Structure 1
Amino acid sequence: MTVHFIGAGPGAADLLTVRAVDLLRTSPVCLYAGTYLDHDVLAHCAPDTELIDTQHLDIDQITEHLLQADAAGKDVARLCSGDPSLYSALTEQTRRLDAHNVAWDVTPGVPAYAAAAALLGTELTVPELVQSVVLTRTRARSTKMPESEALTNFAHTGATLVLHLAITRIRDLAAELTPDYGPDCPTAVVYRASQPDQMILRGTLTDIADQVETANLRQAAVILVGRALTPAVSCAQSHLYDPARRRYTPSGPN
């Protein structure tokens, strides 16, 4: 028996990997986060799959379901929104499974920030403008952030910022980022990327909070901040694809 931690992607049923779909079809038990997933994703499961919504369960209750499946010799598809490498509680769950000698593996998924960038039609790294992307969150009703990861520390770099789990603090965040990025810095919010009720808000650090509050967004939204969101019409050429690049030709034997 194996617990398969599966990246369910941003929500659309056709954005799962082939491996993920195969595991959903063959696992007798599926635990999923009903808050974030489009239920069309569950259509990949077999008709007799035991479906367990974890949105109202704590970590110990979730673990108990996994241990019960293990005792019954049943594989489990443990669906995580986006990709398991980001804010999925993978570490907490696998540590408990290791303590009970339960086998597990991980299947990656399309992360929410990638789906958001795709909807915006935006590359998050633009030559000679910004070459780094910071994936982070802020503290509201959640676990404490390390002191070294204060948002202002990341803002000083000028990197493209992608903020998860932060939509309820959008006004405070905009004010905090403005000194480094400027009030006119392009900012976007993508709500439920790839799902039927998806919403895209575009603006600047000056007006994005007003838009979010008008739309009454409270969860399942990604905030993107940075100059790469609306680069200049003319930008530097990537060295790799620049036709003027001098190509290295190994010299032959003398």
Structure 2
Amino acid sequence: MGRAIFLIFIVLILIIIMVPSMLFISNQNDRVIMKNNLNLAAKVLINAVDKQVINMDELGEGYIKSIDYEIRVDRDRLLSEFYEVLFENVLEKSWYEEIKRDIKAKIIVYNDRFYICDNLDRWSPPYYFIDKYNGEPLYLNTMTDTACYYDDLGDKVSSDISFFGISNAEKEDLIINKLNEQIVKYVMNEFKEGINIKIYNPHKPDGAYKAEYSRFNVLDGLTFFVVYVENDVKSVFDNEIKLSNYQIAGYTLEDY
């Protein structure tokens, strides 16, 4: 009798240990599948690009003063095709709707600015990569080592970033911080402490930095990426286990 009780006790201990472990393994597998699906869907970016088109709508709205447009992304088409490819890979409407709900932000990054689309598919006005020079906006660009500002006469003045006391690594950090500063506003309900997307800065040679940060780099060209957040609570023996999925997935068209 004592041996039987002991065996039952051992089995219960194993179950208590194994069930949460299996849930975490399943959660990790879900993360891999989800990231693959989102990365694949983000590749529709190429279909939404019109080369050598000036975005007259934004010029008319007064958003732009400093940047010469070279390309334009049809944002409505981008979202439509992104969701279409995502659904084709999921093939289950209820799961697709859950995924769509949990994509908290969709971001397009140009070389001089970015846009954020919330989970209700509402696009923000452009956020420019801006620093300050003599109290005035200094416009940065991911693809060049020059920056520009406008003088008192409204004339555009460009110079190498070194003239403004900015190194390449500092410029990349300014741009990365600007992205994180705005994106965090879209996920604050899920992460009260905020999030910090580890966007790779290629001008930092530190080995520990390279080991910690992924090769995700939105600074290589025109980029479309999404922030997917899923907080799932599982009940195991009257105890709640919180399984969080936090995914960054996207696609970059280099040299755009």
TM-score by length of 1: 0.23
Which one has a larger percent strand, Structure 1 or Structure 2? Answer: 2
TM-score (norm 2): 0.23
Higher helix share: 2
